[in-house]
Structure 1
Amino acid sequence: MQKNNMSFLKNLTTVADARTARASSWDQSGRNKDYWLVNAGDTAVMADIEGPGCINHIWVTTFCREILGPSIQHPVLSGSVAPVTEMENAEGVNWELNDPDYYRKVLIRMTWDDFEGPSVLAPLGDFFCIGHSMPSSFSSIPFNVSSRPCEELTFGGTASMNCYFPMPFNKRAKIEVINENERPLGLFFHIDYELYHEETPDIAYFQAAWRRDLPCSGWGNDLCVNSPEVNSVPNLDGKENFLMLDTKGRGHYVGCNLSVLHFQGSWWGEGDDMILIDDEEEPSINGTGAEDYFNHAWGMQRNQSPYNGTIMHDGDTKGYQVSYRFHLTDPIHFKKHIQISMEHGHANHLSDDWACTAYWYQAAPVTAVTIQPVEERIPLKRTFDIPKPAHQVELTPEMQEAYRSRNERMEKFKVEKAEQIRLNAARTAPSEAGNKELAHKVKEEFDKEK
């Protein structure tokens, strides 16, 4: 049976037998501390929902900061309100930096129904199309990111993240955040969903997986891109390509975001996409270049559309590129197996840093998604050595006293700050329980309407 892929707006023209609900980080005491604090090494359950139902929207914003010096604000007062005073490093008031790696160190995990392993497991940032742990504002149909201009294209910059992929479930939906960082994570979120009286037949579960090659196994990184020497090498089977997705089962692939850090200083995107479906040994779907797969041409341009585009352009960032392509009207179907890959340079001659989040829907049984360890996920950064002074200044007694005073104040500040972190983190578990209790209450009331 053929489906009308553009009919989602028609849902608004009929009345549905559904109940709308939300799980969120709202302050369940009625005050204004509307975030959760997830300690280093901890996991927070954002939503645990009884089905049948469907998650229609997820909004998240986060903060994770390193304190470099003591604030003149009292930790107890600043710890009892929304964390707005730390957003700007006012001179002499705060000295904090965004943790540069936390978008890759924090994971989002989603588990559907009674499957043992997760169907979604990806770095929090990359799931929402924040590549290299550097947010950049963009808008597409399934995802958008909005970042403050002063924090765009900075490692660990703050951002608002939205996902609109529908995520159906028949028995249970569980969404978690796993903090594999050394610092606590501040987490604001909404998870908007619907409940139904009947299970979804022929359900296809939402899936997402992330992987990275650092570097890709290139054979000729010292050969110029698109040169006659490189172009003379054939690649028909794609066995050394960068692997974007490889899964067994029945379903349809709906797109990806790709982050590349290019080292050669030429052009990263000369490679082709290749797609194997079911029992194929050689791909039946072959592309003509990375920019062509992302539906641009003659390189990637600095623009975005509902289905494809550039989030971060390598010409603006000295080699960092983030691109996306969503197959919303042209999903790629498979009955047994699908493998999606792309050449890193023609015939895979380049050795760049590639990372991809792939999205697809799949019928049961669903293979549990895995991910590389945290040390293999850290983004690379272009750095420079800070020059040392020609001679060491001899400290006067007043200078020595300045250091002593600062160190004393910092030790006291750390103790008080740690206590506020402990108190705020202790709020998370009761909030998790409150969300689950509220979801159960809404479900019971909805069931009474049958």
Structure 2
Amino acid sequence: MTSNFDGLGLNLGNLYRLSDAQSRSISAENPTGEPGKGALATEGLGADAARDLGTGWKVSPAVSIKAGTTFEVADIEGPGSIQQIWMTPAGEVRFLILRIYWDDQEQPSVETPLGDFFASGWGPFAQISSLPVCVNPRNGFNCYWQMPFRRRCRITVENLSEKDSVLFYQVNYQLTQVPADAAYFHAQFRRTNPLPYKQDYTIVDGISGSGHFVGTYVAWGVNNNGWWGEGELKWFIDGEDAPTICGTGTEDYFCGAWAFHVDGNYQTFTTPYAGMPLVVMPDGKDPNAAQSRFSLYRWHITDPIRFRDGLRVTMQALGWRTGTRYLPLQDDIASVAYWYQALPTAAFPELPDRDYLEII
């Protein structure tokens, strides 16, 4: 067998390859991921249901995260790689904050509400069938972003709610060697509500170092009647004043066209690389009504956007006004930017407080 990183990139073309990587898994039934330490719990949220069966019979399938506390999901010594994360919460997904720390950094490299991380920021269930993120009935959140680390991986979930939350989770990973050119996974959440008039929305800024941008999720709440997606997305690479990459419209960037309309109505869709899985209309009928909400994702898996020193990504919010003129919108926009880069991680903007995060 070979002692290499082949296991990280397995696909149908190389699934037969042997590797010295060691498979591990962390859940409430094996919170440390140690070999031979699963299904040994004698107490947990399932203990009463298993009282006639005893140890090994689903005694600890989930954890309760008390209001205002942080639960440590995983603390793993490397080298290794996170291969898959499955979670399903019983609680408000915008108030559960996922953080991931690499190699003993104090600054998290992933900081985002749980629902937004899994492209489900608004809360209601919508199936997603994409390559790195799948959401299955009902709010079974799955992440397949590969996340290599060299020394340590620590994952936490903070409950900002005033109510306790229950979290079911499983983190599947491998202990294996990590090549010198492997970058670290990052994800950053932002929200602006409302967007100031004539101001671009910032998806991410302040990235420092070498890496590549791999995805965007947006939860868009419309505050005006009419179409909202004329705005362009722009990538400012390595300190540029003008962007190298500039799209032609919001629906174009998310791989749709002509306002996502089919027969005058929005058409939801979910594909391996892009989708609009959720549309919520206030009266259920008018596709152009104010207070409509949309979830959109776009993964740059085959077309990552490379940068050497840094990156800034912006998005315009544009509709139409009288006289066939653009209308700069003042909408409720939240987003998650996903990228890989070398450490260290630059400090993120301070996460909004609970009242600003709340979906009303």
TM-score by length of 2: 0.81
Aligned residue for 1:328, secondary structure, equals coil
Within the candidate set 260, 272, 279, 1:306 is matched to 272
Q: Which amino acid in structure 2 is aligned with residue 375 of structure 1?
A: D
CA distance in 1 between counterparts of 2:144 and 2:208 reads: 25
Partner residue in 2 for 1:200: 179
Higher Rg of the two aligned structures: 1
Partner residue in 2 for 1:59: 86
Q: Which amino acid in structure 2 is aligned with residue 203 of structure 1?
A: A
Q: Which has the higher contact order (CA 8 A, sep 6+)?
A: 1
- C-alpha contact 2:80 2:150 (8 A) present in aligned 1: yes
CA distance in 2 between counterparts of 1:19 and 1:311 reads: 36
- Check if 1:363 corresponds to 2:342: yes
Within the candidate set 284, 291, 316, 1:343 is matched to 316
Deviation at 1:259, TM superposition (A): 0.6
Q: Which amino acid in structure 2 is aligned with residue 117 of structure 1?
A: Q
CA distance in 2 between counterparts of 1:357 and 1:11 reads: 32
What do the CA deviations read for 1:25-57 (whole angstroms, capped 9, x no partner)?
126223434110111111111110010000000
The percent of aligned pairs where both chains have the same amino acid is 37
Aligned residue for 2:75, secondary structure, equals strand
Deviation at 1:256, TM superposition (A): 1.1
Deviation at 1:110, TM superposition (A): 0.3
- Structure with the higher strand share, 1 or 2: 2
Q: Runs of 5+ in structure 1 lacking a partner?
A: 1-5, 65-101, 149-158, 220-239, 381-450
1:148-227 to 2 correspondence within 5 Å?
148=138, 159-196=139-176, 198-219=177-198
Deviation at 1:203, TM superposition (A): 2.4
Change over 3 Å in CA distance of 1:348–1:191 after alignment to 2? farther
CA distance in 2 between counterparts of 1:163 and 1:299 reads: 28
CA distance in 1 between counterparts of 2:13 and 2:342 reads: 25
RMSD: 1.8
Q: How many residues of Structure 1 are paired with residues of Structure 2 in the alignment? A: 307
Aligned residue for 1:12, secondary structure, equals coil
- C-alpha contact 1:256 1:326 (8 A) present in aligned 2: yes
- C-alpha contact 1:218 1:348 (8 A) present in aligned 2: no
CA distance in 2 between counterparts of 1:188 and 1:358 reads: 25
CA distance in 2 between counterparts of 1:146 and 1:17 reads: 32
- Check if 1:111 corresponds to 2:132: no
What do the CA deviations read for 1:122-165 (whole angstroms, capped 9, x no partner)?
001111111222231121000011234xxxxxxxxxx2100000
Deviation at 1:314, TM superposition (A): 4.7
- Check if 1:327 corresponds to 2:300: yes
CA distance in 1 between counterparts of 2:128 and 2:221 reads: 19
1:19-418 to 2 correspondence within 5 Å?
19-26=22-29, 28-29=41-42, 30=55, 31-32=57-58, 33-64=60-91, 102-148=92-138, 159-196=139-176, 198-219=177-198, 240-246=199-205, 247-300=207-260, 301-314=267-280, 319-345=292-318, 349-369=328-348, 370-380=350-360
Deviates more, 1:210-219 or 1:127-136: 127-136
Deviation at 1:9, TM superposition (A): 3.7
Q: Which amino acid in structure 1 is aligned with residue 67 of structure 2?
A: A
TM-score by length of 1: 0.66
Partner residue in 1 for 2:45: none
- Structure with the higher helix share, 1 or 2: 1
Q: Which amino acid in structure 2 is aligned with residue 302 of structure 1?
A: T
Aligned residue for 1:56, secondary structure, equals strand
- C-alpha contact 2:148 2:178 (8 A) present in aligned 1: no
Partner residue in 2 for 1:231: none
